[in-house]
Amino acid sequence: MSIFKPFITSDVIVSPFKVNKSFTFTGNNFTGSNVQIDRFLGKNITASLWVSGSDNTGYITPQSSQLVYRSIKELYYSNYIRGGNGSPAATASFNNDGTITGSAYTPNYYNYLSNTLTASRYFPTGSNEVITVISIPSNLFGEYLKPGSVNISTGSIVLQDDGLGNLISSSKKVGDVIYEHGIITITNSGTTLYSSTLPNIFYSGSLTCSFESTVTIYETQYKCTIRENEFNFSNNPSLLQGSLFESFSNAFSNAFSQMSLNMSSSFFSPPGNGKLNNNVTGSYFSPYITTVGLYNNNKELIAVAKLAQPLPVSSATDTSILINFDF
């Protein structure tokens, strides 16, 4: 016989929490089949029209360096071309003919800022200027890169994420980290001190990149409440007179020479008249809980929770057992 007790709404609580995992890759490990971190050189080519297949860049997936430059500019720097701190907002005018006019400094784009602080982003716009892009696939960074975890180094060059989306080297900003896209851009911030940084970062075979991914895990908690008047009787057959357990105890109380006879005759005899043993008929007897089974609506067992030690059922107060699942 089985005893089931359904959960009520307040018995089930789902709580999300963030978990992080660290990764470190060096040199040729970037392009491994299980890594796929790509590096691109973006170049502002203005001398001629774009030609498909020309000026390719990338270690894994060939891309046009001109299109890489323009894509990064459009996605992450379009509001910062006229000023490193962003274009100041202005009120646009809606005309009767349906057109909209306004200041050229109106920030019309969403550039994936990491926080609400005033951003400072630099993007080179001179002819043939270059940028470096490191692209981390989503299967590595999860939902987003953990702020403050990005570190890139090669030789004497060390670039560190400050946790606010800025890539810092020797106390100077040299690029940006777009956490939700796994994109690391190195724009050199216009400083001549780092004029050799970009080619070194792109071509270096000893480049090391470390970061932490972020993933949300949902923990489901089931509260199994046992009232003082519930589950106060055990279904364990060893409580019955003539049970297997009782016969086993009697067998061991005799000499070993008689064990084979007892085992063949009475040891495996089924429970006799179904009466309880005398030691479990008192008012102070209380069963112990060792296992909690979770069932679906069809009364099919789908999960089993084992207690660390047997828990007596209280006849005076409610007993609650908390079961946690992480998905």
What end-to-end distance do the CA atoms of the chain give, in Å?
32
Q: Where are the domains of the chain?
A: 9-13+219-326, 23-217
Task: Give the strand pairing for 166-169 and 157-161.
Answer: antiparallel
List % helix, strand, coil for the chain (3-state, nearest 5): 20, 35, 45
- 202, with CB counted inside 10 A (0-12, 13-18, 19+), is buried
User: What pLDDT does 273 receive?
Assistant: 58
DSSP H or E segment with residue 184: strand 183-186
Helical segments of the chain, H only: 65-76, 138-141, 197-203, 244-253, 259-262
> With contact defined as beta carbons under 8 Å apart, do 73 and 79 qualify?
no
Averages of pLDDT over each 10 residues, the chain, 327 residues: 79 92 83 78 79 79 90 91 66 72 63 87 87 92 96 86 92 92 83 53 79 94 88 71 55 43 39 62 74 89 91 86 85
Residues 251, 266: Cα–Cα separation, whole Å: 9
User: What pLDDT does 45 receive?
Assistant: 86
Q: What is the DSSP string of 49-86?
A: ---TT-SEE-SSS-EEHHHHHHHHHHHHSTTSSS-TT-
> With contact defined as beta carbons under 8 Å apart, do 155 and 148 qualify?
no
Helix and strand numbers (H, E) in the chain are 5, 17
**Nearest residue to 176 (alpha-carbon basis) of 129, 208, 125, 131:** 131
Q: Name every residue whose Cβ is closer than 8 Å to that of residue 261 and which is 6 or more positions away in sequence.
A: none
Residues 58, 7: Cα–Cα separation, whole Å: 55
User: What pLDDT does 255 receive?
Assistant: 46
Beta-ladder partners of 94: 100
**Tokens (6 digits) for 135:** 């692209």
User: What pLDDT does 254 receive?
Assistant: 47
Residues 233, 152: Cα–Cα separation, whole Å: 64
User: What pLDDT does 198 receive?
Assistant: 59
User: What pLDDT does 193 receive?
Assistant: 43
User: What pLDDT does 325 receive?
Assistant: 85
**Nearest residue to 151 (alpha-carbon basis) of 71, 209, 216, 86:** 209
User: What pLDDT does 235 receive?
Assistant: 67
In a 13 Å sphere around the CA of 186, the CA atoms on its Cβ side amount to 28
**Tokens (6 digits) for 199:** 């080619």
Query: How many Cβ atoms sit within 10 Å of the Cβ of residue 89?
Result: 13
> With contact defined as beta carbons under 8 Å apart, do 289 and 231 qualify?
yes
Residues 217, 16: Cα–Cα separation, whole Å: 6
